[in-house]
Structure 1
């Protein structure tokens, strides 16, 4: 069978790869292959066992438990919750809270709120807004303009100092030292990660091929060392021997046992007849003669007898 794309060997690499890639690739693949093959074998065995257990035990058990949970626990609890808690609380809420609150809001709080709101607005306007506007116009605005002018000057001085003391050396350090070192380190890390990932993928597929090959080999060995010999012995030896035993031994023995049982039964009947006599024959049931009604042609009278009752006269 031709291997699929995921089971084929690693493809050829593009030419022109760096020396780091060439040096890193072979040791990484060797180490990964040695580590991955046992893991893949164990993984295949556990996956097959897990599928069997899931299909034969866990799914039916889960469906049964879910049905029992829904039927015996969830539905009764939901019904009890709605009946004993939600419905009474809803009735109490509508009766004791909503209706009094609506009345209180409409006839007490709304009128009181209107008057209180007007008073609060007047107080806020003349005690807060007007003094705040005066303070902003005559105190805070001039002070803010002076502070802004001072901050602009200090900002310019501090900006120049920060630029020449911090920013310019940091930019130079980044441009001429850290960026080249980071690019080199990133290239090395990228090569290591890429090669490790590729090695893991190829070795995983190779381990799968090895696992399937070992499975087929073990199946073939078991078939030719156990199954086929047992089948040959059953077909060639045990079946003819069984036929011989059935036809030559078992059937005559059964016939002899049947004959012996019949002989024993006949002997017991003879002994019982000799000791106790033959069993009585059952008496035949008497026929019920229907009663004859008067008025018929065959009815007996005092001066007449029927021809059946009087025997015919003898001749000669």
Structure 2
């Protein structure tokens, strides 16, 4: 609400700014307050939906991770197993019908027939007949080339040179070249000089024409500057610039008005929200709290004391009685089972006491005899050998 404090002092505002500011702010405030109210309502609805749908989304994510994902993996594994089995079956069937028969045919029929029926005779024919025949033909051809074709070719080459090459070479060297040299010196060179002179004259004429066009362009430029540029500069300097400044002031004030109106609308929406909250608390919250304290709590205590506790106590006692009945039934069944076992196979053997070896208690030789075992007289502990 307060202007920002900067190092530069605030510039003085004109009458246009003061005249535009208040109406613009009033209009913007009237337009922005409903928008801010709607925006705050949308934000509140978004927060409510986020709080509502976030647990739902987490529950759905947990359901997907805990239920759908294992089911999907199980289905995928089952489908993979079925696909693997089907593929193995199809591959085996395909190999049985199309691969293994042709493989056996190739390995045990075609290859032996080709090796022993075709390749071996062909190798024998090549080694015995074709190779000697080829060597003989090669030697005959080499002799014919060296003795007949080479001399004949050299003679034919000399004849062709004498008939086709040497006359044309002499014609080019002693007829065409002198004539072409004379034509170049006597005809083409003067003609080129004349064309050069004509080109220079045409260039000078074009230069003069270019100067005239330049002068004409300068005149047209001056005319355009006077008739077009000067009015445009006047329009920009004395019309568009003031209008732009006015629009800039209006835009700046409009932006400031939007900021202020947005803040005021925030205060208004906050006050409206607090009023609605207090109204909801007085109309709904307090009656509900009073109903809970005055009605639900006594009824709940009554139900707890009069119904729930006796019912729980009765249930506990019934459970204990059932447990005792089950324990007595188990004991009865165990006793009946033991009696039946004794009746069928006899009772268990009871341990019999083993009688001890009678003797006298030991005592030191020099000490007085002292009875330690009832019914047995004490005897000296000294050996008869030591005593003797």
Q: Compute the TM-score of the two structures, normalised by the length of structure 2.
A: 0.41
Larger Rg: 2
